[in-house]
Structure 1
Amino acid sequence: MTTAISVKNIGKQYKIGAAESKFRYNMLRDVIMDTVYAPVRIAKAMIGKSDRRQNQNYVWALKDVSFDLEEGKVLGIVGRNGAWKSTLLKILSRVTEPTVGTVSVRGRVGSLLEVGTGFHPELTGRENIYMNGAILGMRRAEIDAKFDEIVDFSEVTQYIDTPVKRYSSGMYLRLAFAVAAHLEPEILVVDEVLAVGDAEFQKKCLGKMGDVAQQGRTVLFVSHNMSAILRLTQEAVVLNKGQLIMRGPTQEAVDFYLSSGQAQAGERIWSMEDVPAASAPFRPISLRIKNRSGKAVDTVRSMESVTVEFEYQLDAPVTGLRVGMYLSTIRGEYVFTSFDTDAPELFEKFDSRKSGRYISRAEIPADVFNEGRYTIGVNASSFGVRRYFMDENAIAFNVDITGAPGMHWAEPRVGPVRPRLNWAIEKIGD
C-alpha cells in the first residue's frame, strides 16, 4: 500500500523570548551606559561568556519523531496540553518547517488547524471557498460542483456574500470545516477545533469525518475527546513533551495515554515546568483524592463519600475566578462537571480573590460511582473572559463497589453511576 505521509526523525526548535529589534532609539542615558559597559561586554565575549549568548534560550518542541501513514488510514494523535501536537500538524500541513528531519507528503493536504485557517477576513464566504479550492489546486469547475454542498453543510447561506470578518466564531468554524472536508484533499488534517462549535455541529462534523474516512482518504485527527478518537481512528500515536512515546491500535493507545502520567496514591503535584507561563497569576500546586478518613487514596469505596481537594496559588488578585473539575470515565466519557462557585453564596463571596494560597474542596456523596476507573480534569477560568489553566487528565482513581446496591445480583451493571435510589413496592390488588 502507498505511503501517504512519511516522517523521519523530525525536530522543531523555537527560541524563547522576543527577537531583538534591529533599530533602537536610545535615550542619552542609554548611550552613556552602553559606552561605559562596552569594555565589559567585549571582555566577556572574548572568554565565551557573552550576556547576549546566554540570553538566547531555545526549546525543542518536537524531538526525533518518526512514523509512516499509509493512504486511506485514519490516525489519531493524543497527548496532554503542551505535548506539541499542533506543532506536528503544522509541519505536516507545511505551515512551518522542521528544524531537523524530513517530511514527505503524497497528495493535497486540507488543514483545519484553528478557526478560519486560510481565510482572508476581507473576502466574502463565497470568495474564500474559491480561494481555498485554488490553493488546493482544484479547477473552478470542481469547486462549482461542491459549492452548494459546502454552503448547505456550513449553514451560512444567508451570509455567504458577507466578508468573513463579520462572521461569529461559530459561523467561521462551520464554513472552515465545510471547506476543509468537502474540497476532497487526499489528506485531511484536523486539530482540536471542534470544541468551538455547539454539540449538534460537533456531531455533524464527526459524522462527516467518518464519511471522509470511509471514502479512503487519509485523515490525521487531534482531539482530547477520547470517544471521538475511538470512534474515528484505527490507530493512534501518543505524544509527550514533543516525543512520540507510543503507537498502536487506538484502544491500546488510548488506554496507555489515560493511564500514563497519572498520580499515584491519590495525589498529583505540579512542578514549575509542568505549568505554562500563560497560566499566571494562577499556579496549580496539588490535587488529591481523599477517603472518608481524610487519607489520599487511589481507590475509593462506592458506598462512601469521597473528597476532591485542589490546592493552588494566586500570585495576583483575580476577579471572577471559578475553579472546576471534570469527572470522566477512563474512556473519556464525561460523567459530570462542577465548579467551586456554583452555589450563589460562594459566587458572591469569592467573586474577587486576593493573592495567596487557596484550596477548593468538593465532596462527592456516597453511592454515586459504578465499578471502574475514573479520571478528573481541573480547570481555572474567568467565565467568558479567560482560561488560566486546564489539565483534562490530572488524576485517576479506582472504585471498589463492595457493599454497593444490587451486589446480590451476579450480572454487571452498565453505566458510570450506580446510585442507591429510594424504591417503594406497594401491592394494590389481588
Structure 2
Amino acid sequence: TVLFVSHSMSSVKKLCDRAILLDGGEVEASGDVSDIVEIYLSGGKARAESGAGPIYFAPREDLAMQILSVALVDETGQPRDKFVVGESPVLQIEYEVRQPIDGMAIQFQLMRNGDAVLTQADNESPASDDIRPPGKYRVRVQMPDFLNAGKFVFSAIQTNRLRKTATNHSVRLDQKEAMLHFEIREAEEQRRIISHALEAGPVVSDQSWQTKLLLRSKNTPDSSGSAIL
C-alpha cells in the first residue's frame, strides 16, 4: 500500500482512485477520489452549503491587512452560486488595511475538477504601486463569460505585498482557501451535441466555422443530379 499525501488535487486525481480527507487529524471523509476532491475544494462538509457566501472572518488585529469577507454575486450584486453559460460571476472581496501598505496586490485562483482554470492578480494595475492608506475596502472582479458548464471553486484568495527586487519577491499578507464554490449550467437552448470521445474543457466560445469544398469526388452527383465521371 502506497500513501500519497498532497495538496495538488490534479496529482491526487491522476495517481489515486480512493482518497481520505483529514481535518485536524481526524478522518472527515473517505471514498472515491473525485468525490473527496470535490468535498475538499468546497471547503469540507461544514462549508459545502456556504455556496456563494458571503463568508465573514473573525478580526485579527495582528495582521497589517486582513480579508474581512468574500462573496460571489451576479452583475446586480445579489449572492448566487448557480449561473448559466454566458453569465459572468463577480468575486467580491472586502478587506481592511490597518497600516499604510505599498505595492499591495490581490490574487485569486479558480479551479474546476481539481485543475487550475484561471489565476489572476491586480498587480498590473497602475494603482498597485500606490501606498494604500488604512481603511476598509471593497473590490469586485468580474469573471470572464467563457466559462463552460461545471463546478468551480476559488481555491485561493490571497493578498501579497510586492517587493521591488530582482526576484520579484512578495510577502503573503492574508490568504483564504477553498472558500467559495459555484456551478455553471447550460440553459436548455444552449445544449449542443459534443462527441463523447472528447471531454468538454473549462471554457467555451462561439467560433465561426467556415467549410469550403475543395474538390468534388468522382461519381458524386452535382446540384442537377448528374454524376461527375
- Per the TM superposition, whether the score is higher than 0.5 is yes
CA deviation after TM superposition for structure 1 residue 411, in Å? 4.8
Matched, 1:339 2:117: no
Name 1:283's counterpart in structure 2.
66
* Aligned partner letter, 1:359: R
Matched, 1:416 2:211: no
Q: Is the 8 A contact 2:91 2:142 kept in 1?
A: yes
User: Aligned with 1:346: secondary structure?
Assistant: helix
Name 2:29's counterpart in structure 1.
246
Matched, 1:74 2:10: no
Q: Is the 8 A contact 1:75 1:236 kept in 2?
A: no
CA deviation after TM superposition for structure 1 residue 385, in Å? 3.1
Structure 1 CA distance for aligned equivalents of residues 193 and 184 of structure 2: 18
Pick closer, same or farther for the CA change 1:313–1:304 going to 2, 3 Å. same
Gaps of 5+ in 1: 1-72, 77-220
CA deviation after TM superposition for structure 1 residue 239, in Å? 2.3
User: Aligned with 1:286: secondary structure?
Assistant: strand
Spell out, residue by residue over 1:148-190, the C-alpha distance to the aligned partner (whole angstroms, 9 max, x if none): xxxxxxxxxxxxxxxxxxxxxxxxxxxxxxxxxxxxxxxxxxx
Q: After the TM superposition, which of the residue ranges 370-379 and 303-312 deviates more from structure 2?
A: 303-312
Pick closer, same or farther for the CA change 1:426–1:361 going to 2, 3 Å. same
Q: Is the 8 A contact 1:74 1:235 kept in 2?
A: no
Name 2:147's counterpart in structure 1.
369
Spell out, residue by residue over 1:54-98, the C-alpha distance to the aligned partner (whole angstroms, 9 max, x if none): xxxxxxxxxxxxxxxxxxx2234xxxxxxxxxxxxxxxxxxxxxx
CA deviation after TM superposition for structure 1 residue 359, in Å? 1.5
Matched, 1:323 2:106: yes
- 1:270 is matched with which residue: 56, 68, 84? 56
Q: Is the 8 A contact 1:262 1:268 kept in 2?
A: no
Q: Is the 8 A contact 2:54 2:72 kept in 1?
A: no
* Aligned partner letter, 1:341: N
Structure 2 CA distance for aligned equivalents of residues 363 and 298 of structure 1: 14
Structure 2 CA distance for aligned equivalents of residues 379 and 414 of structure 1: 29
Pick closer, same or farther for the CA change 1:426–1:249 going to 2, 3 Å. closer
Superposed counterparts of 1:86-235, under 5 Å: 221=5, 223-235=6-18
Matched, 1:394 2:179: yes
CA deviation after TM superposition for structure 1 residue 252, in Å? 3.4
Structure 2 CA distance for aligned equivalents of residues 408 and 391 of structure 1: 37
Name 2:223's counterpart in structure 1.
none
Structure 2 CA distance for aligned equivalents of residues 403 and 234 of structure 1: 33
Matched, 1:255 2:38: yes
User: Aligned with 2:40: secondary structure?
Assistant: helix
Q: Is the 8 A contact 1:236 1:248 kept in 2?
A: yes
Q: Is the 8 A contact 2:84 2:149 kept in 1?
A: no
Gaps of 5+ in 2: 163-168, 216-229
CA deviation after TM superposition for structure 1 residue 429, in Å? 6.2
Structure 1 CA distance for aligned equivalents of residues 189 and 127 of structure 2: 32
Structure 2 CA distance for aligned equivalents of residues 408 and 394 of structure 1: 32
Q: TM-score, normalised by structure 1?
A: 0.43
Structure 2 CA distance for aligned equivalents of residues 374 and 294 of structure 1: 19
- 2:134 is matched with which residue: 355, 361, 364? 355
CA deviation after TM superposition for structure 1 residue 249, in Å? 4.2
Number of residues of Structure 1 aligned to a counterpart in Structure 2: 203
Q: TM-score, normalised by structure 2?
A: 0.76
CA deviation after TM superposition for structure 1 residue 426, in Å? 6.3
Spell out, residue by residue over 1:339-388, the C-alpha distance to the aligned partner (whole angstroms, 9 max, x if none): 12323x3334xx3211111112111232x111110001201112313112
| Higher relative contact order, chain-length normalized (CA < 8 Å, sep 6+) | 2
CA deviation after TM superposition for structure 1 residue 232, in Å? 2.9
Who wins on radius of gyration, i.e. which is larger? 1
RMSD across aligned positions (CA): 2.7
Q: Is the 8 A contact 1:263 1:396 kept in 2?
A: no
Matched, 1:295 2:74: no
CA deviation after TM superposition for structure 1 residue 235, in Å? 4.1
Name 1:378's counterpart in structure 2.
157
Structure 2 CA distance for aligned equivalents of residues 424 and 235 of structure 1: 42
Q: Is the 8 A contact 1:262 1:394 kept in 2?
A: no
* Aligned partner letter, 2:193: W
More strand by share: 2
